Amino acid sequence: MKRRLLLALALCLTPGSAHAQGFRVLGLNVLPGSLPPADLNVLDGLGTASCPPPAGRLDRLLSQELQGQGANLSCGNRFEALIEFPGPAAAHPWGSYAELARRIQEAKSSVLLANMVWDEGQGAPGQLIAAALADLRRNVLAHPEQYPQGMSVRVLLGNSVRPDRPADPRANLDYAVKDLLGAGLDLSGQAEGGWRLDVANFSYAAPHSHLKLLVLDGEEVVAGGYNISTLHLSPEAGGKGLRDLGLVVRGPIARNAVAAFYDTWQLSERLTCPAGTRPGTALSVRRACPLGGESAPFTLLWPPAAPAGTANVYSLYRRSGVTAADHALTALLGAAKTSIDLLQTQVSGDLSCDLTLGTPQGCDLATHGLPAWQAVADALRRGVHVRLVLDQAYPMKFEAAALVRSLQDALAGTGAADRLEVRWAGHPMHTKAIVVDGEMAVFGSTNLHFSSFGPAGLSEYTLATSDAGAIARMQDIFEGEWKMARPFTFPWWAR
């Protein structure tokens, strides 16, 4: 039988070599300019895959916009699932986090977990994630024959401040470390048989990492807007029922997700705890477990990519210094011919617009609007029907009202205003999802907000797909949200 020749490409780099110098403001590490560019060859799969020109109109657009940044990994993928948060508490107290934990426990060689928020406390989902990792470790050590490549686990926090710790971007990391130590996991960075666990924190608080990403075995991706937070639990489980989504896909695009994680890891500081460190309090964890330790090289060992299906999936990974996805998302919105449906938790014009939130005039879209919203306005003028569901929690409600006012002002006198329908979500919503023309669906962490765009924008991971099953599922979710949504009215201060 003819043997198949596998080409293995390895890239070994140590995190920290690409750091840009920041400065401290109130204890926060602030980046004064842009981060260095990413290695585009890595984001595009190190030459292990290529894709023919796609047939679909919107597929062709994204393929062209994202050349060199994952387009070669966009074909041959498979839509697996769309995880809805919070999920039914009747099935599991932790709702949809139980699905994430199950997938972690079933990993065969690697787990890459990046998130911005990690809540502490009894019953918080971080405890379930830590327990899943502990179960995985026990199985790796008990049955090494099932893990011939060993098991490499990396957990990456985003260095973001929290409402309860507004000047402390390390708090989420400390809470994660408490849960990991509490589950009996060693964070010294030393290998145990075939098992190794590394933990790191993104180096910058402004801009921080907003990634919400899980990559399993370099083959499966869960990308969405969910945090590891009690807010996403159902009220029955002590949460707020905050709605969100996680898109699960399998195939070559997972290599781009690995590369995005790798790129973010390089811009992070590794944490180490002395062997035997006990969970204690967040303060004791911080004292015992410093940042800045040397990390094991991040090795990418990729044979030629094998197709998992027929779906096209496009990566919209972006960060300071890597902004092609900003243009691609704007181009996608601008290419709409019939409809744009949006579920958005946080929207805005540019930063100057946020400084005028207390005035009823809004902000001029032509001069201070995000290009993405300018593209939506242009689509409306061309006859596209736009439905927009917005979260009405404060302070996002201020920004949402100003953005809607800007859109209405931009459409005044054009005959297009009636094609814009806006509603307030009928429940707490954290989703960032878009459907364009019923032909392309977008899921991820990117808000249509100034903080997610431009050279000073956050690190984000978002996926777009033309898979018919994913689009149908997303359209069903949107229609359900639309029916539950409430009529949009301006707050009293903006009337």
pLDDT range class, residue 33, cuts 50, 70, 90: confident
Quote the pLDDT of residue 205.
Answer: 87
Q: At residue 245, does pLDDT exceed 50?
A: yes
In the numeric block, the tokens 């408490």 are attached to: 178
H or E element at residue 33: none
* Helices 324-334, 371-381: crossing angle, 10 deg rounding: 10
Q: At residue 64, does pLDDT exceed 50?
A: yes
What mean pLDDT do residues 286-295 have? 84
E strands of 225-338, at which residues? 244-250, 268-271, 291-293, 298-302, 313-315
pLDDT range class, residue 2, cuts 50, 70, 90: very low
Tell me how far CA of residue 303 lies from CA of 5, 45, 424, in angstroms. 9, 10, 47
Q: At residue 356, does pLDDT exceed 70?
A: no
Higher pLDDT, 375 or 301: 375
Higher pLDDT, 282 or 207: 207
What mean pLDDT do residues 426-446 have? 97
In the numeric block, the tokens 């807007």 are attached to: 225
Is residue 71 within 8 A of residue 47, CB to CB? The reply is no
Is residue 492 within 8 A of residue 468, CB to CB? The reply is no
Is residue 202 within 8 A of residue 291, CB to CB? The reply is no
Let me know if 401 is exposed, middle or buried by CB neighbors in 10 A (0-12, 13-18, 19+).
buried
Quote the pLDDT of residue 15.
Answer: 39
Q: At residue 281, does pLDDT exceed 70?
A: yes
Tell me how long the chain is: 495
In the numeric block, the tokens 């953005």 are attached to: 403
What mean pLDDT do residues 485-489 have? 95
First to last CA, the chain: 75
Quote the pLDDT of residue 16.
Answer: 40
What mean pLDDT do residues 356-378 have? 84
pLDDT range class, residue 24, cuts 50, 70, 90: low
In the numeric block, the tokens 């997303």 are attached to: 474
Quote the pLDDT of residue 12.
Answer: 42
Q: At residue 9, does pLDDT exceed 80?
A: no
Higher pLDDT, 301 or 326: 326
Q: How many CA atoms lie within 13 A of 104 on its CB side?
A: 26
In the numeric block, the tokens 């996002």 are attached to: 396
3-state DSSP call for residue 243?
strand
In the numeric block, the tokens 């309090």 are attached to: 281
pLDDT range class, residue 90, cuts 50, 70, 90: low
pLDDT range class, residue 348, cuts 50, 70, 90: very high
pLDDT range class, residue 202, cuts 50, 70, 90: very high
Quote the pLDDT of residue 1.
Answer: 29
pLDDT range class, residue 5, cuts 50, 70, 90: very low
Let me know if 40 is exposed, middle or buried by CB neighbors in 10 A (0-12, 13-18, 19+).
middle
Quote the pLDDT of residue 299.
Answer: 80
Which of 89-93, 217-221, 334-338, 388-392 is predicted with the least confidence, judged by mean pLDDT? 89-93
In the numeric block, the tokens 């060199």 are attached to: 68
Which of 218-232, 243-257, 320-334, 479-493 is predicted with the least confidence, judged by mean pLDDT? 479-493
Nearest to 187 by CA among 203, 200, 205, 169: 200
Higher pLDDT, 60 or 35: 60
* Winning range, highest mean pLDDT, from 20-34, 289-303, 384-398: 384-398
Q: At residue 158, does pLDDT exceed 60?
A: yes
Considering only CA atoms, give the Rg of the chain: 22
Q: What percent of the chain has pLDDT over 70?
A: 91
3-state DSSP call for residue 287?
helix
What mean pLDDT do residues 115-137 have? 95
pLDDT range class, residue 394, cuts 50, 70, 90: confident
Q: At residue 11, does pLDDT exceed 80?
A: no
CA of residue 211 relative to chain centroid, distance:
4
Average pLDDT across the chain, whole number: 90
Is residue 94 within 8 A of residue 104, CB to CB? The reply is no
Quote the pLDDT of residue 132.
Answer: 98
Both structure tokens of 400: 């949402």
Tell me how far CA of residue 291 lies from CA of 22, 29, 130, 168, 208, in angstroms. 16, 14, 20, 14, 16
pLDDT range class, residue 326, cuts 50, 70, 90: very high
Is residue 135 within 8 A of residue 193, CB to CB? The reply is no
